[in-house]
Amino acid sequence: MKRIATLIGRTAVSCWHHGSPHFPPLPAWAPGPPYTCPQIRHLAAKQNKGQFKGQKINSKPVKLEKQQKQEVEIKQRMTVSELAKAMNKDIDHVYEALLNTDVDLDELEPDTVLEEKWIKEAVKRSGMKHKWAKLVETKVRENKDIQRQPPPDPAQLVPRAPVVTIMGHVDHGKTTLLDSLRKSQIAAQEAGGITQHIGAFRVQLPSGEKITFLDTPGHAAFSAMRARGAMVTDIVILVVAADDGVMNQTIESIQHAKKAKVPIIVAVNKCDKPQADPQRVKEELVGHDVVCEEFGGEIQANHVSALKGDNLLELAEATVTLAEVLELKGDPTGLVEGTVIESRSDKGKGPVTTAIIQRGTLRKGCTLVAGKCWAKVRFMFDEAGPSIPVEIVGWKDLPSAGEEILEVESEQRAREVVEWRSYMEEQDKIKEDQQAIEAKQKQHQESYNKDRESMAHLSWRQRRAALYRANKHKLSHRLSEKTEIEELTLPIIVKGDVDGSVEAILNVLESYDADDQCELDVVHFGVGDISERDINLAETFSGRNPQQPMEKKSLLSFIQISLHHICEASVLATFDVTVGKKKIPVAGCRVQKGQLDKKMKFRLVRGRNILWEGSVTTLKHLKDEVLTVKTGMECGLSLDNEELEYKPGDEIICYSQSEIKQKISWDPGF
């Protein structure tokens, strides 16, 4: 008998073929199929039971190993990028893990700090488990900065020349005064009579006394540079025009001098002019706590003419007299201390600074630190002691005007100081960024809670629909808002000859308050000539290079194109006119409104598309050549493009175009 066995689950079915020696054959008359299964056996299938001879039977059940979850080391205040790195995933994975949570994914950046609960939630949703990273004890970094020296021994002090700063209103004659004092043509080299940067020089009087002068810009918006000049000066000469009187910049100069506790000498300039009134000027100064000697005060006033050189010697002698009263002294020994007056990039010398030495004696080979820059003084014509202006060459980078200069004992020490200051600046920036991030997160959380409270009475489906409608409204306006912002933005690249000029210009731009009319965007600034990088950057923003020929337009004068005197005419029919051997297409039109003027510009419009803009070659009424066609009249015209094809229903628009300089509400102070 042939046996067929089939195991289904835990049941075995056995069938025997009829006619086997163990089963009697059925009678021929017996009905039924050739194969039957009269017996069913239920066999229990045991796990791991041997089914072949000689196979060992393992009676112990196999224990399935539990899949181990990946562990992620987490810590407090992890950023998105740090969490992704710890999970061995990309940043997008973290974003996906935080979907449908309270986290605002639009505000989430790679450097955004996550709260602890969202760190754990992202790990959990990723099918991982977290463990806290071991705390690593960080060593406190040793302070490598350098400080000023203790006050010098009075026995080491020697008399020094006064450092005098010239201040006053623009165009009141400060540069002309300095020019007359040092017998050099400064004003002739400067654009518009406005001093472009501050300089320092010494003047020796016939009596032998020496005075160091600082020339600061006379611009109202250059107040930061004037304040910096007052901080390193001993005496301020306040220049006021006798024909103009006290102005805004005059008042600012007085405030800077008083804040720095620097004595003032008044120079009433332009006294040679017929309309000069020195007495009125001194009376106006009384109202600002500048009381001259003739009014019972202690401030000297000198009537001068910088252009003609009148009474300049008396002004210099008054300065020397005041310096004697102040008993100015300095210490020429010890390490050098000074202040950067201006800095610039020279093609042959590299970074160069002009400085005033306040302590010590500067020599060739000295190692200096200013801000995050250091220098090994390469060459000098002479030694420079207190109150002496000097040009320093050898800086590795360009320090900013106003930075404190300190001498160190070696180049290694200079590098340590610069590295420490850069590190501290980086730490301060991290703290500021962290505070800004926390403030932004707090603002978002408050906004989110407020929205949740306003929708608390709604079902989840209604809340979802309301949020979708709000976001849809924002998205529908996002493109138009972006386009509008781009149209009202003026990118600016600022390059100057010296650091002080650049800073002064940036101070002017910071006072800009007409963003609603046009937003100013300073994309780059620096010191030196315009480089190829600057040009490429300007091309990115469709800018202009002022060193190339261009129209004489002010930086802040925007051009608005306006269309006026618009006239509309409809094309009724088209036909060709033969002129010589050429066929010229002509449009037969009726003026719907306004007046067609042959001298103006024309535009062919079909539907909403402008097909052509230009001028009219022929304008006829009936058979006569005319210059104008009024409303309601018919005419024939041909445009200066003979390839145009007119169609009935086209519109001919006649207009005039004019350029109007846009005026903004911003007053930069000059």
CATH code, domain with 603 = 2.40.30.10
**pLDDT at 61 > cutoff 60:** no
Q: Given pLDDT bands bounded at 50, 70 and 90, which one contains residue 301?
A: very high
Say whether both 520 and 568 belong to one domain: no
Q: Report percent pLDDT > 90 for the chain.
A: 29
**pLDDT at 404 > cutoff 60:** yes
**Could you report the per-residue pLDDT of 70-94, keeping only the tens digit for each?**
888 898 888 888 999 999 998 889 9
* Helices and strands in the chain: count of H runs, count of E runs: 12, 30
**pLDDT at 382 > cutoff 80:** no
For residue 102, is it within any domain? yes
H-type alpha helices, 400-410: none
Mean pLDDT computed over 336-357: 88
Q: Are 654 and 597 in contact (CB under 8 A)?
A: yes
pLDDT at 418 (0 to 100) = 95
Which residue, 364, 395, 418, sits at the end of a domain?
A: 418
How many angstroms separate the CA atoms of 277 and 292, rounded?
Answer: 15
Q: Are 210 and 258 in contact (CB under 8 A)?
A: no
Average pLDDT along the chain: 78
Q: Given pLDDT bands bounded at 50, 70 and 90, which one contains residue 337?
A: very high
Q: Which of 167-181, 291-305, 504-518, 552-566 has the lowest mean pLDDT?
A: 552-566
How many angstroms separate the CA atoms of 643 and 113, rounded?
Answer: 64
Q: Which of 461-465, 543-547, 576-580 has the lowest mean pLDDT?
A: 543-547
Q: Are 94 and 80 in contact (CB under 8 A)?
A: yes
Say whether both 322 and 343 belong to one domain: no
Q: Reduced to 3 DSSP states, what percent helix, strand and coil does the chain have, rounded to the nearest 5? A: 30, 30, 40
- Using CB atoms within 10 Å of the CB of residue 432, give its burial: 0 to 12 exposed, 13 to 18 middle, 19+ buried: exposed
Say whether both 165 and 234 belong to one domain: yes
Say whether both 342 and 323 belong to one domain: no
pLDDT at 198 (0 to 100) = 54
For residue 263, is it within any domain? yes
Say whether both 174 and 299 belong to one domain: yes
Q: Are 162 and 317 in contact (CB under 8 A)?
A: no
Say whether both 317 and 401 belong to one domain: no
Torsion on CA atoms 192, 266, 263, 406, rounded to nearest 10:
30
Mean pLDDT computed over 518-536: 82
pLDDT at 2 (0 to 100) = 38
Where in 194-319 does DSSP place strands (E)? 199-204, 210-215, 235-241, 264-269, 301-303
**Could you report the per-residue pLDDT of 184-213, keeping only the tens digit for each?**
434 444 444 444 455 788 888 888 888 998
How many angstroms separate the CA atoms of 555 and 662, rounded?
Answer: 12
Beta bridge partners of 603: 613, 653
**pLDDT at 565 > cutoff 70:** no
Q: Given pLDDT bands bounded at 50, 70 and 90, which one contains residue 474?
A: low
Say whether both 172 and 238 belong to one domain: yes
How many angstroms separate the CA atoms of 631 and 496, rounded?
Answer: 57
**In terms of Cα–Cα distance, which of 555, 219, 500, 456 is closest to 344?**
500
**In terms of Cα–Cα distance, which of 494, 500, 493 is closest to 224?**
500
Q: Which of 243-247, 354-358, 478-482, 645-649 has the lowest mean pLDDT?
A: 478-482
Amino acid code (one letter) for 652: I
Amino acid code (one letter) for 250: T
DSSP 162: P
**pLDDT at 18 > cutoff 80:** no
For residue 246, is it within any domain? yes
Mean pLDDT computed over 362-373: 94
Q: Are 180 and 311 in contact (CB under 8 A)?
A: no
Q: How many domains does the chain have?
A: 5
Q: Are 370 and 378 in contact (CB under 8 A)?
A: no
**pLDDT at 460 > cutoff 90:** no
**Could you report the per-residue pLDDT of 316-336, keeping only the tens digit for each?**
999 999 999 999 999 999 899
**pLDDT at 456 > cutoff 90:** no
Q: Which of 7-21, 172-186, 491-505, 564-578 has the lowest mean pLDDT?
A: 7-21
User: How many angstroms from the chain centroid is the CA of residue 350?
Assistant: 26
Q: Which two tokens stand for residue 229?
A: 């000049």
Q: Are 285 and 242 in contact (CB under 8 A)?
A: no
H-type alpha helices, 260-410: 278-286, 312-326
- Using CB atoms within 10 Å of the CB of residue 589, give its burial: 0 to 12 exposed, 13 to 18 middle, 19+ buried: buried
Q: Which two tokens stand for residue 486?
A: 């781009």
pLDDT at 224 (0 to 100) = 56
**Could you report the per-residue pLDDT of 619-638, keeping only the tens digit for each?**
999 889 999 999 999 999 99
- For residue 494, the enclosing domain spans 485-542
DSSP 109: -
Q: What is the pTM of this model?
A: 0.59
Number of C-beta neighbours around residue 232 at 10 A: 21
Annotate 531-593 with DSSP letters as a single string: -HHHHHHHHHTT---TTS------TT-EEEEEEEEEEEEEEEEEEEEEETTEEEEEEEEEEEE
Q: Which of 253 and 551 is assigned the larger pLDDT? A: 253
Say whether both 173 and 318 belong to one domain: yes
For residue 640, is it within any domain? yes
Q: Which residue has the tokens 């805004």?
A: 248
**pLDDT at 265 > cutoff 90:** yes
**pLDDT at 567 > cutoff 50:** yes
pLDDT at 586 (0 to 100) = 92
User: How many angstroms from the chain centroid is the CA of residue 390?
Assistant: 34
pLDDT at 230 (0 to 100) = 58
Which residue, 402, 418, 434, sits at the end of a domain?
A: 418
Domain with residue 268: its CATH number is 3.40.50.300
**In terms of Cα–Cα distance, which of 176, 192, 166 is closest to 670?**
192
Q: Given pLDDT bands bounded at 50, 70 and 90, which one contains residue 366?
A: very high
How many angstroms separate the CA atoms of 352 and 375, rounded?
Answer: 10
Q: Given pLDDT bands bounded at 50, 70 and 90, which one contains residue 361?
A: very high
Beta bridge partners of 6: 13
**In terms of Cα–Cα distance, which of 501, 495, 497, 494 is closest to 215?**
501
Q: Which of 243 and 382 is assigned the larger pLDDT? A: 243
Say whether both 284 and 205 belong to one domain: yes
**In terms of Cα–Cα distance, which of 445, 427, 429 is closest to 115?**
445
Q: Which of 570 and 69 is assigned the larger pLDDT? A: 570
**pLDDT at 547 > cutoff 80:** no
Q: Given pLDDT bands bounded at 50, 70 and 90, which one contains residue 40?
A: very low
For residue 98, is it within any domain? yes
Q: Which residue has the tokens 């002010």?
A: 554
Which residue, 275, 303, 329, sits at the end of a domain?
A: 329
**pLDDT at 537 > cutoff 60:** yes
Q: Given pLDDT bands bounded at 50, 70 and 90, which one contains residue 484?
A: very low
DSSP 156: G
